[in-house]
């Protein structure tokens, strides 16, 4: 798999550093028909990641979910979450064209 190749290409020192900044969490509860492999991690910055391997798939993807949104907007700034969402697709240094990052995803 792609993740295995990445780990193999790390030096021993990089691998030790990565292990210190990532905490393995218990796997999620799976249904009997779920054939995927899961690995839950907590990164040093507090972000929780769920890695899913589907050996039957020919594609791979990434998704991000944050526990914030319109209900977390300050009363003085309604619409802030929605505005921030749209700012992600207006361009950045790495993806300067409008919607370029969205096309990359």
Catalytic positions: 85
Calpha distance 26→63 (Å, rounded): 20
| Number of other residues whose CB lies within 10 A of the CB of residue 96 | 10
Assess contact for 38 and 21: CB atoms under 8 A.
no
Q: What is the largest CA-CA distance in the chain?
A: 50
Calpha distance 53→38 (Å, rounded): 6
């Amino acid at each position: 798999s792609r993740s295995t190749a990445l780990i193999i290409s790390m030096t021993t020192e990089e691998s030790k550093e990565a292990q210190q900044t990532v905490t393995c969490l218990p796997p999620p509860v799976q249904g009997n028909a779920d054939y995927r492999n899961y690995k839950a991690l907590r990164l040093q910055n507090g972000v929780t990641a769920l890695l899913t391997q589907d050996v039957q798939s020919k594609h791979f993807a990434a998704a991000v979910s944050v526990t914030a949104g319109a209900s977390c907007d300050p009363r003085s700034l309604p619409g802030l979450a929605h505005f921030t969402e749209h700012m992600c697709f207006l361009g950045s240094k790495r993806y300067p064209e409008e919607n370029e990052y969205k096309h990359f995803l």
